[in-house]
Structure 1
Amino acid sequence: MSKRWKQRPPGSTWGDFGEDDELGRINLLTPEKVLQGVREVEHGITFSLSLPLDYPGGTSLNQRRYPPILRPTEDLQHQQDVFYNIKASEHFSPDLIDVWSDDVVTLWLQYSTQWDSLAHQGAEFDADGDGVAEAIYYNGFRPGADIVGPRPDAKGDGSGSLGFARHLGLEKMAEHGVQGRGVLIDIAHHLGTGFQAVDFKQLQDIMAADDVVVEPGDILLVHTGFATQVLAWEKNPDPVAIHRTAAYLDADDPDLLNWIAESQISAIASDNYAIEGVGVTQAQGPHTLLPLHHLCLFKLGVPMGEMWYLHDLAAWLREHRRTRFLLTAPPLNLPGTQGSPLTPVATV
């Protein structure tokens, strides 16, 4: 029994991988799963699955997340924002021929192609068994003690960080490595790119039509066409249409949630925003705004990837009557983060 909780959420994996586990079902990415992915490589062709990280453009998709801001670093005299196109002959020695540029970025980690960490969404749940629900994250990690902030020096090293995940940060995934067999479900091909919920029956039909088989430890990718439209908007998305473009998984369908839990996928990613619909749940009484996030991040320990670019991979797989590939998709090894940009690579 974990020291952090007396009772776990029904249907959760808390404690299944150890009382101090911070990886969840990423633990299922074993050496054998990596080898299964490697066996899918027949042509040596690679596909980058990342949008440019300054997409979608603007803040209409999420007003809290902004495009990256680049600027030069300081120079050797600590003059800010100037070390760019620096001629060494003018600043260091007339005998030097070098020209240097160096830069720094302010980056909203979940602005574009991303992983969500297990610290991204928790819930109020009575893990202590005292009849009172408390805020808590996967496997019983707590706000304040484990997920720190907002407060000065949250990291505790004087760096100025105001928030820091001492546990469940994405560096755990990065250290483990995220590589294995990816499996793609091509919703866009079968249902188009209209805004619609896709329930388990529809998903089953698509999988049957394309001979998609998902096994424990696989990384599931869902192609809806959303990221393709985001690219077409060229960083100027329609502020209304961006919230009503492409399909999403129907997280109000209990059969769909049960399948995701029972499939034992190690992670799930899509080319859309949130994988599920945002704010569309019909649940009544105390409930989660995002049932799929609640299931994956809070209960199962399944990391979620959003806004991956899947168009080219999906087209190639369809042409070659395939659905599986080797996927390499580690987050940044940046300690304490709730989310991370990445450049996933599929190899076929």
Structure 2
Amino acid sequence: MFRRWQKRPIGSNWGDFGDDDELGRLNYLTPEVRRRAARCVQEGLTFCLSLPLNLPGGTVIHRLRHPPRLSALARGEDGTLNYNYPLAIEQPGATDIVSDDVVTLATQYSTHWDTFAHVGQSFDADDDGVPEPLYYNGWRAGRDVAAPDPETGAARTSRLGVDTMARACIQGRGVLIDLRHHLGPDRHLVGYDDLMRIIEADRVEVQRGDLVCFYSGFGDRVLAASGALDPADAHPARCAELDGRDRKLLGWIDDSGLSALISDNIGVEALPARPADLDRRATLPLHEFCLFKAGIALGELWYLSELATWLRSHERNCFLLTAPPLRLPGAVGSPVTPVATV
């Protein structure tokens, strides 16, 4: 049987869920895991975990990611806002007033999911001495990811896309780790030792399949800035961020069995990462491990403040998290409006 790769990256789980797997550790979101998550619902209260999708504003986070452009759907000179429908000439006396609009947006501008097609690596998977551009589980750049559509010529992803994540119906037990409470509002590089102290202090238990959220407070800065975030707050971000170069931290992520890492900051991990004395290395080491090797989904720029406050006041850290991305075939990322139920 044909296999896309002859060797897999050290520390990866390629093939563990099947040669053609596209979900990675999202496979851990089983019915039993969802039933366990439902037991976290005690009050029936909900929290919206998305920023307004026009934030952070401008291009302060990424120079190529622009705010959404919202306009009326084209229909003659006036567009389709507040128009009489059906047209009076077709249905005399019709009283319906209808509005329709259209939006153009960068899928990873605000609160979003990264798919496994977002970050790949150059890796010699066929063992011929020449690295090739690949993504999780050996799916190929240019053939499976961002390949031209044979009919339209448009670039789109046929594997690992956001529609695959959407069909998985991402719902499970959310666990919040409150970095902001323990480390304060300013920049802090969070390694394994820091994280273990926080987990022990707050009696956090991370179980297989959990969707683990890190509250750093960066989302508070974004919301307070009202679209005018100071670049000095963003590059590097003034908040706690995971140290992607910490191998013990990556080992804990692997051993924990979690399905997703989520944060209210820009990239979950510190950007830029600490320097590494290697000839070849990933500039985004946590992305490399999660998206390329282990099939762990990443959520970025979520809004966790209100949930974090409520959980701390009630001495809790788990909740039911429902967060499917858009079912948009061919996309490598997606805005999301996650809901936490406590």
> So what's the TM-score if we normalise by structure 2?
0.96
Alignment of 1:155-194 (within 5 A): 155-158=149-152, 162-194=154-186
Match of 1:201 in 2: 193
Q: Which residue is equivalent to 2:46? A: 46
Q: 1:187, 1:247 within 8 Å by CA — same for their partners in 2?
A: yes
1:165-215 residue CA offsets vs partner (Å, 9 max, x unmatched): 100001111111101111110000111110110111011000100000101
2:29 corresponds in structure 1 to 29
Residue 248 (1) aligns with residue 245 (2): no
Q: Structure 2 residue aligned with 1:232, among 211, 224, 230?
A: 224
Alignment of 1:328-347 (within 5 A): 328-347=322-341
Give the match for residue 310 of structure 1: 304
* CA spacing shift, 1:94–1:313, aligned 2, 3 Å: same
Partner of 1:266: 259
Over aligned residue pairs, what C-alpha RMSD do you find? Answer: 1.5
The structural deviation recorded for 1:91 is 6.1
CA–CA separation in structure 1 for the residues paired with 2:220 and 2:88: 46
Seen in structure 2, the aligned counterparts of structure 1 residues 134 and 194 have a Cα distance that, compared at 3 Å, is same
Q: Is the 8 A contact 1:2 1:20 kept in 2?
A: no
User: 1:85 maps to which residue?
Assistant: 82
Q: Which amino acid aligns with 1:268?
A: L
Instruction: Please tell me the residue identity of whatever aligns with 1:85.
Output: N
Normalising by structure 1, we get a TM-score of 0.94
Structure 2 distance, partners of 1:74, 1:157, is 26
5+ residue gaps, structure 2, are: none
**Residue by residue, what CA displacement relative to the aligned partner does 1:279-314 show, whole Å, maximum 9, x if unpaired?**
232112211111000000000000100000000100
1:300 aligns with 2:298: no
Q: Secondary structure at the match of 1:276?
A: coil
* Per-residue deviation, 1:148: 2.6
Deviations 1:137-157 (Å, cap 9, x if unpaired)? 1101001110134xxxx2334
For residue 30 of structure 1, what is the amino acid of its counterpart? T
Taking a change above 3 Å as real, the CA distance of residues 80 and 15 of structure 1, as seen in their structure-2 partners, is farther
Map 1:130-145; keep pairs closer than 5 Å. 130-145=128-143
Aligned partners of 1:326 and 1:39: how far apart in 2? Answer: 8
Write out per-residue CA displacement over residues 82-121 of structure 1, whole angstroms, 9 at most, x where no aligned residue.
Answer: 1112134656444011111101100110000000000000
Closer, same or farther in 2 for the Cα pair 1:92/1:70, shift >3 Å?
farther
**In 1, distance between residues paired with 2:144 and 2:273?**
31
| Percent identity for Structure 1 against Structure 2 | 49
In 1, are the aligned partners of 2:244 and 2:273 still within 8 Å (CA)?
A: no
- Mapped to 1, the partners of 2:286 and 2:273 lie a distance apart of 12
Structure 2 CA distance for aligned equivalents of residues 247 and 92 of structure 1: 60
Alpha-carbon distance change, 21 to 80 in structure 1, aligned in 2, over 3 angstroms: farther
Contact 1:296 1:303 in 2 (8 A): yes
What are the within-5 Å matches in structure 2 for residues 280-299 of structure 1?
A: 280-284=273-277, 285-299=279-293
Give the secondary structure class of the aligned counterpart of 1:147: coil
Match of 1:278 in 2: 271
How many equivalent residue pairs?
Answer: 339
Contact 2:263-2:301 at 8 Å conserved across structures: yes
263 and 97 in structure 1: CA distance in 2 versus 1, 3 angstrom threshold: same
Q: What is the alpha-carbon distance in structure 1 between the residues aligned to residue 325 and residue 186 of structure 2?
A: 30
Distance 1:234 1:289 in 2: 30
Contiguous gaps of at least 5 residues in structure 1: none
Q: Which amino acid aligns with 1:164?
A: R
Q: 1:97 aligns with which of 76, 95, 98?
A: 95
